[in-house]
Amino acid sequence: MKRTGKHPDKALTPVRINAMKQAGRYADGNGLYLVVDPSGAKRWILRTIVQGRRRDIGLGSLRLVSLGEAREAARTHRKVARDGGNPLAERRRARAVIPTFEDLARTVHGQHKAGWKNAKHGEQWITTLKTYAFPALGNVPVDQIGTPEVLRALAPIWLPKPETARRVRQRIGTVLDYAKAAGYRSGGNPVEGIAKALPRQPDRRDHHAAMPYTEVSGFIRRLQAEEGKTGVALALEFLILTAARTGEVLGAKWTEIDLEQGTWTIPDNRMKAGREHRVPLSSRAIAVLRAAQALGKTSEFVFPGRTSTRPMSNMAFLMLMRRLNVDYTVHGFRSSFRDWASERTNFTREICEAALAHMVKDRTEAAYRRGDLFEKRRELMISWAAYVSSSEDKIVPIRRVS
């Protein structure tokens, strides 16, 4: 029958507990019960609401837990539940061996490896933490990391290396999110809102300084003067002619190239958007590829590095730009191409964006787009090659494309 009247409060006593022989559940008050099993064994449980659900939490046998200890444990668990926590998760966490930040970061790195597009990204992920996070956080148990500890890791690089600092912040946050999901910590992630405690960083738009498109043809001529000395200049000219990303060019393999059809097909696992991308090749881009073949290196890579088994390093581009005393970034050539297409041609925006392999942000438009505008993009890339290969800065005559 449903109990009526005043709820019990400290109803049990040691004498009464010793006298209990009949199987059943006996209330002490505030959700604490002594359960007598048919075998005669006696144990404590706490019935309480945990995150909106009624839960029974075992507190141990009467032989091991006294009445006073059971009341104190019940009080502690009720407080955790009242504050929105989960007493069971808290207890599991207390019993577990809490890993250090470095140990857990390596665990997260290992578990995420399969999902990354390439091994290089995975190596960069853990290397940035080794370099910038482990000195401050490496030996700290993950349940003891708060805002001051994260601030100590990020402050030295926040202004001198803003892009790296943002990546480190994101990766620290990933490790701490994993720690919470695994029951090693509770509460919020101290990475959230950390930027408010740090100085304002420079405008991110300055990170990929783009060469004005009017200067690209002159730069191409300088590259062509270098091409007899090194394959790096060939690779950089190919990047400019195709408006591709650095990693896409450096990782290009001969199996992706069809010289007869003038097509470069980049597989989905090497694309930022995770979708296969076909690049139409102009006659000059094909000539660059044939020049790369003539270098005589036997490799699966179009632009191999010092050894034929590895692609060229992106540092090769950086060193070439420095040697030529050019202050612009390699990635910025994509912006040079986009500015030229907008200001000097009549090609539509969707064709230009498709040439850069940009995802369609509008979901409705993306749902109805089936093709990749390949033939129209071929005309665009032929016009771009003609423009950057011209000896004078002039508008390349092209027909209006609808």
Please check whether residues 217 and 199 belong to one and the same domain.
Answer: no
Q: Give me the phi and psi of 164, to 5 degrees please.
A: -65, -40
- pLDDT of 372 reads 67
Is residue 25 in some structural domain?
Answer: yes
Rg (CA), the chain: 32
DSSP 367-386: HH--S--HHHHHHHHHHHHH
Please check whether residues 128 and 154 belong to one and the same domain.
Answer: yes
Is residue 9 in some structural domain?
Answer: no
Please check whether residues 193 and 279 belong to one and the same domain.
Answer: no
Do residues 7 and 29 lie in contact, with contact meaning Cβ atoms separated by under 8 Å?
yes
Angle of the 162-181 helix axis to the 147-154 helix axis, nearest 10: 150
61 beta partners:
43
The tokens describing 335, both together, are 């912006």
Do residues 330 and 239 lie in contact, with contact meaning Cβ atoms separated by under 8 Å?
yes
What residues contact 72, with CB distance under 8 A and at least 6 apart?
none
33 beta partners:
27, 45
Please check whether residues 58 and 36 belong to one and the same domain.
Answer: yes
CATH code of the domain covering residue 219? 1.10.443.10
Question: Can you list the residues of the chain whose pLDDT is less than 70?
Answer: 1-6, 92-96, 115-119, 202-208, 227-229, 296, 359-372, 391-402
CA dist 117 and 322 (Å) reads: 29
> Residue type at 176?
L
Do residues 20 and 28 lie in contact, with contact meaning Cβ atoms separated by under 8 Å?
no
What stretches of 227-269 show up as alpha helix (H) in DSSP?
A: 231-242, 246-250
- pLDDT of 400 reads 40
* Total domains in the fold of the chain: 3
Domain boundary among 74, 95, 116: 95
- pLDDT of 361 reads 53
Nearest-CA neighbor of 235 among 298, 279, 301? 301
Is residue 181 in some structural domain?
Answer: yes
- pLDDT of 204 reads 52
pTM for the full model? 0.52
Q: Give me the phi and psi of 199, to 5 degrees please.
A: -65, 155
Please check whether residues 294 and 364 belong to one and the same domain.
Answer: yes
Is residue 170 in some structural domain?
Answer: yes
Please check whether residues 245 and 351 belong to one and the same domain.
Answer: yes
Do residues 241 and 292 lie in contact, with contact meaning Cβ atoms separated by under 8 Å?
no
Is residue 62 in some structural domain?
Answer: yes
How far is residue 236 from each of residues 22, 120, 298, measured CA to CA in Å? 86, 20, 20
Do residues 276 and 320 lie in contact, with contact meaning Cβ atoms separated by under 8 Å?
no
Is residue 140 in some structural domain?
Answer: yes
Please check whether residues 144 and 185 belong to one and the same domain.
Answer: yes
Please check whether residues 368 and 382 belong to one and the same domain.
Answer: yes
Identify the domain containing residue 185 by its residue range.
Answer: 101-203
CATH code of the domain covering residue 132? 1.10.150.130
Please check whether residues 85 and 127 belong to one and the same domain.
Answer: no
Q: What angle do CA 371, 376, 381 make, to 5 degrees?
A: 120
CA dist 341 and 219 (Å) reads: 18
- pLDDT of 398 reads 44
Please check whether residues 40 and 106 belong to one and the same domain.
Answer: no
Please check whether residues 272 and 340 belong to one and the same domain.
Answer: yes
Domain boundary among 203, 236, 256: 203
Domain boundary among 155, 185, 203: 203
Please check whether residues 125 and 266 belong to one and the same domain.
Answer: no
